[in-house]
Amino acid sequence: MKNTIRIERAIKDMTQADLAEAVGVSRQTINTIESNKYVPSTVLALKIARVFNKPLEEIFMLEDGD
Amino acid sequence: MKNHFLFPYWCRYLGWGLVILHVPLSMLGRSHGMINIMDPQPRDQGIFAGEHLFFISTTLIMSAGLFLVAFAKEKIEDEQIWHIRLDSLRWAIFINYLVLIISLIFIEDVPHMLELNLWVPLIFFIIRFRWVIWRLNQSLKREA
Sequence spans of domains, chain B: 7-73, 75-144
pLDDT of residue B37: 38
ipTM: 0.84
Distance, CA of B17 to CA of B12 (rounded, Å): 9
The pLDDT tens digits for A39-57 are: 999 999 999 999 999 999 9
Rounded CA-CA distance B76/B6 in Å is: 12
| Averaged pLDDT of chain B | 83
CB distance A3 to A40 below 8 Å: no
Residue B72 φ then ψ, to 5°? -95, 150
Contacts for B94 with CB less than 8 Å, ≥ 6 apart: none
CATH homologous superfamily of A2-54: lambda repressor-like DNA-binding domains (1.10.260.40)
Confidence class for position B44, pLDDT limits 50, 70, 90:
low
Q: Residue A61: beta bridge partners? A: A2
Residue among B79, B81, B143 whose CB faces A44 most closely: B79
CB-CB under 8 Å, B79 with A25:
yes
Cβ–Cβ below 8 Å for B140 and A31: yes
pLDDT value at A33 more than 60: yes
What span, in angstroms and rounded, lies between the C-alpha atoms of B37 and B134?
45
What mean pLDDT comes out for the span B104-112?
A: 80
Closest listed residue to residue A60, CA positions, set A4, A11, A20: A4
